[in-house]
Chains A and B, each alone.
Chain A
Amino acid sequence: MNFVIRLSTLMSMLACILTPFQAYSDGTVVDKVYHPYVLPFEREFEWRLVSHQTDSGNKLAQRIGVGSAITDTIALEAYVVGERDDYGDFGLAAYELELRWQLIEQGKLWADWGALFEIEKQHTKDIFEATSGFVLEKEFGKTSLTLNAFLVYEWGKDIKNEWETEFRAQYRYRYRAAFQPSIELYMGEDFVGIGPGFIGLQRFNGQKQLKWEAGFITEVSQSEKNHSVRFALEFEF
């Protein structure tokens, strides 16, 4: 009975949020689902990899970042992004600065809220991208639903200035710390992808912990092949 109530609540919530929402984004949508929490003293190294397999070939992007909490509720992280180009060469593609802001105390309200702000500059091109949006997480017993809704603006001499929207969702079962299976959904312009994933963590002494994430996303709105695999490792210390 509880499960039925939780499921209906979850469906109502998703319907409320998704019905008026159409996502428009021509960039890479499959990346990471953000959670709305920041810990004071948090410092981290992060590595992310996303591989897209389409009919026209394989695209690979990796990013390495370092970040730190700058207040009790705000964390700042800087990344360098590397991509494999059309000739198969892997090289520096962009720089990115990201700010995460935990807006309310976890568990205080019906759901937990955060905000995300990002600015990215392409390395060799005059292309900038600014992202802002909300991050929401709601617990349903042993499961958690996380939603990201972003507004993106791209500008520069080498790109047509435009607004885009992105939507990401993750529903995970907190089975055990090391293994929390999930279902992930990504929406952007001409892209709706869904697939399984998992996250986990291993604690060490003090605040040291290693987190891992993976997702296997299949594009479902187009007939052509578009599979994405994403991995992320975060070492907090």
Chain B
Amino acid sequence: MAKQCLWLFCVVFLSFTANSKEYRVVLKNHLFYPAKITIPSNKKVKLLIENQDRTPEEFDSFDLNREKVLYPNRTSVIYIGPLVKGDYEFFGEFSPNTARGVVIVVDEVQHADN
């Protein structure tokens, strides 16, 4: 029991101290730039999404299991991962036809080569 609690404490503590790599995305005219974001597999990363539009947007992705309101003229932070290799689509709920993108998760070596 004591070992299990110590293990749980360590995992939680490490999660406080781990640094996540940042990826910047801009939302402008209801389009995400870049619309394709390549990240390494099995790593937690931070998406910094700057909404340059005058209206709020809602980042939504069932694949990534994330929903987040993007306030206008503000940068919002979305933590994603660790993820396995694959494509994870996302979209803006208020402009689902234009505000679309995909997070592409690749092997770490492949990611370093890009």
Which A residues fall within an 8 A CB radius of B? 2, 12-13, 15-16, 19-20, 37, 39-41, 72, 105-111, 139, 141, 144, 174, 176-177, 203, 206-207
- Provide the residues of chain B in CB contact with A203, threshold 8 Å: 60, 93
CA distance A40 to B1 in the complex (A): 40
Chain B residues within 8 Å of A15, by CB: 4
Q: 16 A-B contacts, Cβ less than 8 Å apart?
A: A12-B8, A15-B4, A16-B1, A16-B5, A19-B1, A20-B1, A39-B67, A39-B68, A39-B69, A107-B44, A107-B78, A110-B12, A110-B15, A111-B12, A144-B65, A177-B62
B58 at the interface (CB under 8 A from A): yes
Chain B residues in contact with chain A, CB under 8 A? 1, 4-5, 7-8, 11-12, 14-16, 44, 56, 58, 60, 62, 65-69, 77-81, 84, 93-94
* Assembled-state Cα–Cα distance A106/B7 (Å): 22
Using known A-B contacts A15-B4, A40-B69, A144-B65, determine if residue A105 contacts B77 with beta carbons closer than 8 Å: yes
Taking a contact as CB atoms under 8 Å apart, the answer to whether A206 and B69 are in contact is no
Evaluate contact between B93 and A206: CB separation under 8 angstroms.
Answer: yes
State how many angstroms separate the Cβ of A201 from the closest Cβ of chain B. Answer: 9
Main secondary structure of the interface of A (DSSP, over half): loop
Q: Please tell me if the beta carbons of B69 and A13 are within 8 angstroms of each other in the complex.
A: no
Listed from nearest, the 4 A-B pairs whose CB atoms lie closest are A107-B79, A110-B15, A40-B69, A16-B4
Report how far A207 CA is from B56 CA in the complex, Å.
Answer: 11
Give the residues in chain B near A72, CB-CB below 8 Å: 69
In the bound complex, CA of A14 to CA of B61 (Å): 28
Tell me if A16 and B15 are in contact (CB < 8 A): no
Given A108-B79, A110-B15, A206-B94, verify A13-B8 contact (CB < 8 Å): yes
By a CB distance below 8 angstroms, the chain B residues around A207 are 58, 93-94
Give the Cβ gap from B97 to chain A, nearest Cβ, in Å.
11
Q: Within the complex, what minimum Cβ distance (angstroms) separates A177 from chain B?
A: 5
Contact of B79 among A19, A106, A141, A206 (CB under 8 A): A106
Contacts of A105 in B (CB 8 A): 77, 79
B16: chain A residues at CB < 8 Å are 109
A32 CB → nearest B CB, Å: 19
Closest CB-CB distance, A176 to chain B, in whole Å? 8
Whether A41 and B12, one on each chain, are in contact in the complex, defined by CB atoms closer than 8 angstroms, is: no
CB atoms of B1 and A107 under 8 A apart: no
**How far is A111 from B44 in the complex, measured between Cα atoms in Å?**
13
Most buried by B among A2, A41, A108, A206: A108
Q: Which residue of A lies closest to B44 (CB)?
A: A107
Look across to chain B and name the residue whose beta carbon is closest to the beta carbon of A139.
Answer: B65
Minimum CB–CB distance for A149 against chain B, Å: 14
Chain B nearest CB from A101 CB (Å) reads 17
Contact partner of B7 (CB less than 8 A), chosen from A12, A20, A108, is: A12
Which residue of chain A lies nearest to B14 when distances are taken between CB atoms in the complex?
A110
Cα(A2)–Cα(B84), bound, Å: 10
Q: What's the minimum C-beta distance from A139 to chain B, rounded to whole angstroms? A: 6
**What chain A residues lie within 8 Å of B11 (beta carbons)?**
110
Besides the known contacts A16-B1, A144-B65, 10 further A-B residue pairs in the complex with CB atoms under 8 A apart: A15-B4, A16-B5, A39-B68, A105-B77, A106-B68, A110-B15, A177-B62, A206-B93, A206-B94, A207-B94
